[in-house]
Chain A
Amino acid sequence: MNAYKNAQRGAFASIPMIIGGVPFGLLFGSLAAANDLSIWFAIAMSSIVFAGSAQFVALGLIAADAPLWVIILTTFVVNLRHILYAADMLRFVRHLPLRLRLLMGFGLIDETYAAVRPMYDMGSANKADGHQVYIGSFLSFYLMWNVTTVLGALAGELIPGISDWGLEFAMVATFIGIVTPYLKSVPYWGAFGVAIIASVTLKEMPNHLGLILATLLAVLVGYCLDRYSEVDKKRGAANV
């Protein structure tokens, strides 16, 4: 398969999340306009920073007249989860040339990680073509994010209440479609269960800290169960 086909596969796998992101791009653009920020500021945010939830948080902080360092520190905390994605993706990118890795780092967002990372596990991406799938996913999302930001800034009130339609459910369903193939062994079920309980319990923590903690906890439990079942297997083999 050629590079274009692979990029197309990445874009295709991201469609539900792109649809889910549309209301947020529109909302971001219109909120920026509602806060008397210029359309150029909104465009610069979406095209240079390119970080969905951190952009919304920053709008809130700007409206609250927060100082620069608070905005930057909060952005740091909100985006901290991406370092986990990078660590997990390392094994698939380390052989690539630096300029490709620098580009891929820019596009390491929730949606692209969610769409592409499991494809390596399910066999539809590999070290040879995975980066093309990845770039296809992130460029299509990037395009949508910037187009909807502009549209939102120009005509935020055009589709009133679109953020209440529940288009984000497309993302929920997609993530479930990505998660279920993993649910084949006890460690993965363990991580799944802990992630649910911990994320719901810690929901009220600010700046996605609950999300980060719940993720770390679930990873830890999955890892421990994995270790335990390996030791168990070895012991079983020794007894034969």
Chain B
Amino acid sequence: MSNLELALIILGMFIVTYGIRVVLFAGAHRAEIPEWLDKALKFVPISVLTAIIAPMSLTNSEGLALSLLNPWFVGALTSLLIGLVFKRQLLTICVGVLVFFLMKLFVGG
């Protein structure tokens, strides 16, 4: 590819990426969000974060991997339980990560 083509790729990707991220922010002072949409958007954080990590935690290249030998599944489950019981974010992260790496060490995968 020529340098011009590569520069155009960067420019084009920048325009669409930044455009998507900034278009609402740029007009934020006059944008009116209807109340129902505002209420619905409150569910975006939990929905998108869960949708990002669920496939990583519950599946592998072969499909569902709900096995107690799967470090991803067991680590995520541990984090979830710790988070629900103790409600301490740092503890949730540390214990989950510890369980994950210990399992990876001993079980592999």
Q: Give chain B residues whose Cβ lies under 8 Å from the Cβ of A195.
A: 46-48, 50-51, 54
Indicate which residue in B25, B75, B84 contacts A173 across the interface (CB closer than 8 Å): B75
* SS of A interface (majority): helix
- The chain B residue sitting closest to A201, CB to CB, is B55
Q: Give chain A residues whose Cβ lies under 8 Å from the Cβ of B97.
A: 16, 169-170, 173
Q: Which residues from chain B sit less than 8 Å from chain A, CB to CB? A: 1, 5-6, 8-10, 12-18, 20-26, 28-29, 31, 33, 36-59, 64, 71-72, 75-76, 79-80, 83-84, 87, 89-90, 92-93, 96-97, 100-101, 104
With A48-B14, A86-B20, A223-B36 already in contact, 16 other A-B pairs whose C-beta atoms are closer than 8 Å: A54-B13, A62-B1, A80-B20, A90-B33, A91-B33, A98-B26, A105-B18, A166-B72, A172-B53, A176-B53, A176-B76, A180-B87, A195-B50, A199-B52, A218-B46, A226-B39
Q: Chain A 104-148, CB within 8 Å of chain B: the 1/0 string?
A: 111010100110011001000000000000000000000000000
Across the interface, do A173 and B16 meet the contact criterion of CB distance under 8 Å? Answer: no
If A68-B12, A105-B26 touch, does A50 touch B41 (CB 8 Å cutoff)?
Answer: no
If A49-B13, A214-B51 touch, does A188 touch B43 (CB 8 Å cutoff)?
Answer: yes
If A49-B13, A91-B38 touch, does A106 touch B21 (CB 8 Å cutoff)?
Answer: yes
Q: Give chain B residues whose Cβ lies under 8 Å from the Cβ of A58.
A: 9, 13
If A101-B28, A203-B55, A203-B59 touch, does A219 touch B13 (CB 8 Å cutoff)?
Answer: no
Across the interface, do A16 and B21 meet the contact criterion of CB distance under 8 Å? Answer: no
Q: Give chain A residues whose Cβ lies under 8 Å from the Cβ of B28.
A: 90, 93-94, 96, 101
